Amino acid sequence: FLPQSLFLYFWDLITLMANLLSLWVCPFLLSFSYDDYSFPKIILGLIIHSVIDNLLVLNRAIIYYGEVIEERK
C-alpha cells in the first residue's frame, strides 16, 4: 500500500480512534460500569484491529529521503 493512499488515511483515523478507545474509554468502562456483555466485544474488536493493522504495516510502502520504497529487502 502506498503511504498517500486514501484507504491508509482512513485506516490511520480508525487506528487513532481505536487507540483512544483502548487508552481512555476501556479503563473507565472496566472501573466503573463493567458489563459482561459489551466489554468483551470491545476487547475482541481491538484485538482483531491490532492483527489487521500489523498485517497492513508489513505491506505498507515507506518514503525514505523522498523515494518511495515498496519492496522489503
| Structure confidence by residue, pLDDT tens digits, 19-66 | 988 898 778 777 777 666 777 888 889 899 999 999 998 888 888 898
Please tell me the distance from the alpha carbon of residue 55 to that of residue 17, in angstroms, as a whole number.
18
C-alpha cell at 28: 473507565
Q: Closest Cα partner for 42 from 57, 55, 61, 27?
A: 27
- What's the Cα-to-Cα distance from 44 to each of 20, 35, 60, rounded to whole Å? 16, 14, 24
pLDDT value, residue 22: 87
| Residue 1 vs residue 54, higher pLDDT | 54
